């Protein structure tokens, strides 16, 4: 399941700037049926590629490729789709999740002639994109599953991201607006900030990292967090962080900043799945969002793993719970 390229041409972005020669790299799995109505869109999350999240899709899996046509579009800025690392430093425009979803919509309409989605699903920033799908195209999306994400990035979430940015841009290669070279020191510092926010205090108190195969807290930080960010591009990360900070399903001409209206317009059967111990996508925020949607269910993941509930290797219990709930949501599909 190698990535394919959708060339979008020159794209006018939400903020009025232009992205030249824009492209989405995407992966598909399964077969599109004759009616073109068995489609699931599954956007990537912060810093991930389609290969990192494809485990959820396959024959007999929750996103069953014997039944569904699964499309995994890579987010702008992730190093595969159009990203700062593809251009001269400082020349990549500011992007939003609105921009991402509008290009994904073009991909589905122009490449595959898709008019209906069985499901929009995502984790973290991928979940924020799934939320955008449901709000921007309410007549198109039948179901939406939001795993550890939000309709709008909260103030507290932005405080977390400001700390991440401060650590990353403390690298000597930072020039005030972009990195002129590799941000190795900043990436390590960012990873250590993330390690504190990404997991719950109970995770560390209970020494859950030992049960996951790590020898110590330091071993866990180095192998998981530093390992994940070590080969990322600093400018790519900054572009995605900016899109994350500005994420808001109502920040567009369709809703003019009215989040209540945007949430109320979502017609999809919605499964909103926060982690009980997530410190930046708070269950409290999810409760409020569910209250404002007409067809939504809150399903809290009871875990000590904080934000990190979608790793089937290190945390199979939570990953299995997520899969079970997605299967239940898709179980209403009688076609």
User: Of these residues, 45, 96, 307, 318, which one is catalytic?
Assistant: 307
Instruction: Write out the two tokens for 305.
Output: 């793993």
Q: Using CA atoms, how far apart are residues 77 and 239, in angstroms rounded to an integer? A: 6
| 201 flagged as catalytic | no
| Catalytic residue status for 7 | no
- Among residues 233, 236, 278, 318, the one annotated as catalytic is 278
Q: Is 105 a catalytic residue?
A: no
Within 13 Å and on the Cβ side, how many CA atoms surround 200?
Answer: 18
Active-site residue (options: 82, 124, 150, 275):
124
Tokens 């920033």 locate to 125
DSSP symbols for 284-298: HHHHHHHHT-TTEEE
Closest CA to 240 of 76, 39, 14: 76
Beta strand spans in the chain (E): 4-12, 18-29, 39-41, 57-58, 63-64, 69-73, 119-123, 143-147, 269-273, 296-298
Burial 200-213 (b: 16+ CB within 10 A, else e): beebbeeebbeebe
φ and ψ at residue 275, rounded to 5 degrees:
-90, 135
Distance separating alpha carbons of residues 2 and 27, to the nearest angstrom: 6
Let me know how many helices (H) and strands (E) the chain has, helices first: 14, 10
Kindly list the catalytic residues: 124, 278, 307
């Amino acid at each position: 399941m190698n990535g394919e390229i959708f060339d979008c041409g020159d794209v006018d972005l939400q903020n009025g700037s232009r992205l030249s020669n824009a492209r989405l790299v995407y992966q598909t799995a399964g077969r599109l049926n004759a009616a073109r109505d068995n489609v699931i869109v599954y956007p990537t999350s912060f810093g991930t590629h389609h290969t990192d999240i494809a485990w959820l899709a396959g024959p007999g899996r929750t996103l069953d490729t014997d039944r569904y046509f699964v499309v995994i579009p890579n987010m702008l800025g992730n190093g595969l789709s159009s990203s700062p690392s593809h251009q001269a430093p400082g020349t990549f425009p500011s992007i939003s999740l609105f921009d991402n979803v509008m290009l994904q919509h073009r991909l589905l309409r122009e490449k595959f002639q898709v008019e209906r989605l069985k499901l929009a699903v995502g984790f973290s920033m991928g979940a924020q994109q799934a939320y955008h799908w449901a709000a921007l195209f309410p007549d198109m999306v039948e179901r939406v599953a939001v795993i550890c994400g939000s309709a709008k990035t909260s103030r507290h979430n932005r405080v977390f991201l400001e700390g991440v940015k401060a650590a990353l841009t403390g690298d000597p290669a930072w020039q005030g607006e972009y990195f002129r070279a590799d941000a190795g020191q900043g990436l390590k510092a960012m990873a250590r900030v993330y390690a504190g926010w990404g997991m719950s205090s109970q995770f560390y108190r209970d020494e859950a990292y030992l049960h996951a195969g790590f020898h110590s807290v330091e071993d866990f930080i180095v192998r998981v967090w530093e390992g994940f960010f070590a080969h990322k591009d600093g400018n790519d990360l900054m572009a995605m962080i900016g899109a994350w900070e500005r994420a808001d399903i109502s920040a567009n001409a369709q809703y003019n900043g009215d989040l209540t209206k945007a949430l109320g317009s979502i017609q999809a059967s919605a499964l909103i799945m926060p982690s009980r111990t997530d410190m930046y996508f708070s269950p409290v925020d999810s409760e409020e969002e569910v209250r404002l949607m007409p067809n939504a269910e809150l399903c809290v993941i009871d875990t000590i793993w904080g934000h990190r509930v979608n790793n089937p290797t290190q945390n199979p219990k939570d990953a299995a719970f997520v899969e079970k709930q997605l299967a239940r949501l898709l179980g209403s599909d009688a076609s």
